[in-house]
Amino acid sequence: MHDLSGELIDGRYELLRQVASGGMATIYEALDTRLDRKVALKIMHAHLANDEEFVNRFIKEAKATAALSHPNIVSVQDQGWNQGGTPAVFLVMEFIDGHTLRDYLFERGSLSPAEAVNFLIPIVSALSAAHKIGIVHRDIKPENVLISTTGRIKIADFGLARGDLLGTTITSESSVILGSVSYLSPEQVQRGIADPRSDLYSVGIVAFEMITGSKPFEAETPIQIAYMHVNERVPRVSSKRTGIPDSLDSLVFSATSPNPDDRPQSASNFLEALRLIQNELDPKRTQMSLELDLPPLPIRDKSRKSPRISKEKITHSSETVQPMTTDKGKKPMREDTGENTREIRRRTSARVQRNRWIALLIVIVIIAGGWYTLVGPGTRIIVPSVAGLSIKEADSSLAPLGLISHVSEQVFSEDIPNGKIISSKPAGGGRVKPGGSVLYIVSKGPERYNVPQLRGLTFDAAKALLEKNPIVVGNVTPVFDAKISQGLIVASSPAAGSSVKRDTPIDITVSQGQEQVPLTSYVGLSGDQALNELTAAGFDVTSTYAYSDSVAIGAVISQDPAGGASANKGAKVTLLVSQGSQAVFIPNVYSFSEAKATSMLQDLDLKVVVKKIGKRTVKSVTNVAPTVGTKVQRGSTVVITVG
């Protein structure tokens, strides 16, 4: 599936970036525009969205995971079909900001026993909750263990889950087991069946890898790895690394037993054993109910009382003025003589007369100024403020004063709306003669220019069109595009029709035509590997199935187009996958009950005809035709005689 980043799904979820892609679906980081929060959006690949069985499984995954409520399980929030744009079946999950256990192991290599136990406890706790309502995950692996930045561990991707709420995840037509082969239990590889103990086997393999830094089995092809899980015993952790506690070594060894009966019989038992080991490794550890989360920080009481000031420290100012005392040694002042009194009166009279003349002059100036301003030639009208008003509103304010208005200038403004007055000449509070004019400077609103439609134009034509407005060409990015011919514009940013400021750079995306991708030959390799890698390379892959006597079950018999050349990205590739040999050997069903013999033969795609003889109450098989060991084609008829 091509990258859908930037699209709006279901009119609500804006795809921000592609996070991961697998064989069934692609996961995007998205924004829920309705609730303004980040979510993870899982979109099924287009070639699977046409398969009713896969769509049903996808929907059942949403229902199954939504039924799980546990702090260590990624919650499902929504599911639906995108109707308004690109056809897509999608699943909305909580967005986990962090990384996967695979990333952690890639960086660290291996973990100490105590660290490994700290990781395993929340994983097994989540599985215990799922198992209690009848859901088996079936695909536990480091890639499906998420670690948030807050320390919370989450189990994701119940896409292969099986249980009462889901039904089955394996088709009888393909007989191809889905899942990651390095972590599959032997019973899943052999018979395609799984129960809670199968998840515990996968957890044991994950634990082995966390502690030792490597998987127990490595091979060139997935089929070889699956064969080793069935026919070889996973070694003890202590054989790969020293210093492992015996209890942890024994627990991992029992969890990876090929016989499900030898493993812990439930996730609850496994969890209890892990907690005992945790206490053994760290006896002083405080037991908490929140699995592996950091303890919540206590909420500090932010209320504060105003500081009190002791009364003793408050300084009071004196409200009384102490009377001045004369020094006893000072002599009293002499009384004024009559001559001095007459001299003082003469000086005072001259000053008073001068002040009276000054006051008279000021009064004359004020009267003259008032006459000039109010009655004489200096008469002026005070202009009211019209800033922020419309022209009509401003004229209504000026008309009663006998003033005339004119629009002298129109300018762009980021703050004043279009049609509103920015300022006037004279400004508010200024004066103008009766019948005088007031000039308006009016806003044209923000300076904006519409981005023209550039899609489908050549670069030169797009550049010429942009230069008609004061906007410029920004970055030019080449991209592959299956619909737009090479050299033509695919899109612009900001998009066509957007309003932009002067001199805004418009980034342009130019088509390089259809992308050519090398096509590898997968003949003889795993069909799952071919499907995943070709889909990741951008091809539209369809798998068909046929019997083959020369090609192993699950391997590719042929592909169309063949490998070795380049093909258009998104082109259709058809894989023909082997279902195993067309011929089978008649098994020995002598002495079996009718039901058991019939079931065994039908499992080999043989038709069974039963002949009953005798009067015995409990009957068993007494004869088989064709005889035991005969090589026959699938679909052949086998006659069994019971008596």
- Per-residue pLDDT reduced to its tens digit, 40-88: 999 888 777 777 777 777 777 677 777 788 899 998 888 888 876 677 8
Tokens representing 207? 């634990």
Residue keyed to tokens 């009950």: 593
Catalytic residue among 3, 51, 97, 139: 139
How far apart (Å, rounded) are the C-alpha atoms in residues 516 and 209? 38
Tokens representing 94? 């909580």
Which residues in 156-195 are b (16+ Cβ under 10 Å) and which e? Answer: bbbbbbbbebbeebbeeebebbbbbbbbbbbbbbeebebb
| Other C-beta atoms lying within 10 Å of the C-beta of residue 477 | 12
Going from the C-alpha of 351 to that of each of 50, 175, 356, 361, 362, the distances in angstroms are 113, 125, 9, 16, 17
CATH entry, 383-443, from 2.60.120.430, 3.40.50.300, 3.40.1110.10, 3.30.10.20: 3.30.10.20
| Burial of 627: CB neighbours in 10 Å, binned 0-12, 13-18, 19+ | exposed
Q: Could you tell me whether strands 421-425 and 449-450 are parallel, antiparallel, or unpaired per DSSP bridges?
A: unpaired
Tell me if domain 8-94 and domain 516-578 are identical in fold.
no
Please report the pLDDT score of residue 374 as a whole number. 57
Amino acid type, 431: R
- Going by C-alpha positions, the residue among 15, 167, 140, 21 that lies closest to residue 73 is 140
Task: Estimate to the nearest angstrom the gap between the alpha carbon of 533 and the chain centroid.
Answer: 24
Amino acid type, 335: E
Walk across the sheet containing 572-578 and list its strands: 540-546, 572-578, 556-560
Does residue 100 contact residue 145 with C-beta atoms inside 8 Å?
A: yes
Please report the pLDDT score of residue 24 as a whole number. 76
The DSSP symbol for 51 reads: -
Domain 583-642 has CATH 3.30.10.20: yes
The residue ranges of the chain whose pLDDT is under 70 are 1, 61, 84-85, 159-179, 285-349, 351, 369-379
Please report the pLDDT score of residue 241 as a whole number. 92
How far apart (Å, rounded) are the C-alpha atoms in residues 43 and 89? 6
Residue 565 CB contacts under 8 Å (≥ 6 apart), including other chains: 518, 519
- Going by C-alpha positions, the residue among 518, 509, 564 that lies closest to residue 538 is 518
How far apart (Å, rounded) are the C-alpha atoms in residues 620 and 594? 6
| CATH superfamily entry for domain 8-94 | Phosphorylase Kinase; domain 1 (3.30.200.20)
Radius of gyration of the chain (CA): 45
CATH topology of domain 516-578: Trypsin Inhibitor V; Chain A (3.30.10)
Task: Estimate to the nearest angstrom the gap between the alpha carbon of 554 and the chain centroid.
Answer: 34
User: Domain residues of the chain, as ranges?
Assistant: 8-94, 99-281, 383-443, 449-511, 516-578, 583-642
Residue keyed to tokens 């007459």: 342
Domain 449-511 has CATH 3.30.10.20: yes
Please report the pLDDT score of residue 324 as a whole number. 40
| pTM of the entire predicted model | 0.46
Residue 91 CB contacts under 8 Å (≥ 6 apart), including other chains: 25, 41, 42, 43, 58, 61, 62, 76, 78, 79
How far apart (Å, rounded) are the C-alpha atoms in residues 223 and 554? 8
Does residue 25 contact residue 46 with C-beta atoms inside 8 Å?
A: no
Three-class SS string for 521-577? CCECCEHHHHHHHHHHCCCEEEEEEECCCCCCCCEEEEEECCCCCEEECCCEEEEEE
**pLDDT, tens digit, 9 for 90 and up, residues 11-27:** 899 999 998 887 778 89
Q: Provide the CATH number for the domain formed by 99-281 in this structure.
A: 1.10.510.10
User: Is residue 336 among the annotated active site residues?
Assistant: no
Residue 34 CB contacts under 8 Å (≥ 6 apart), including other chains: 12
Please report the pLDDT score of residue 300 as a whole number. 38
Please report the pLDDT score of residue 371 as a whole number. 62
Q: How far apart are the first and last CA of the chain?
A: 59
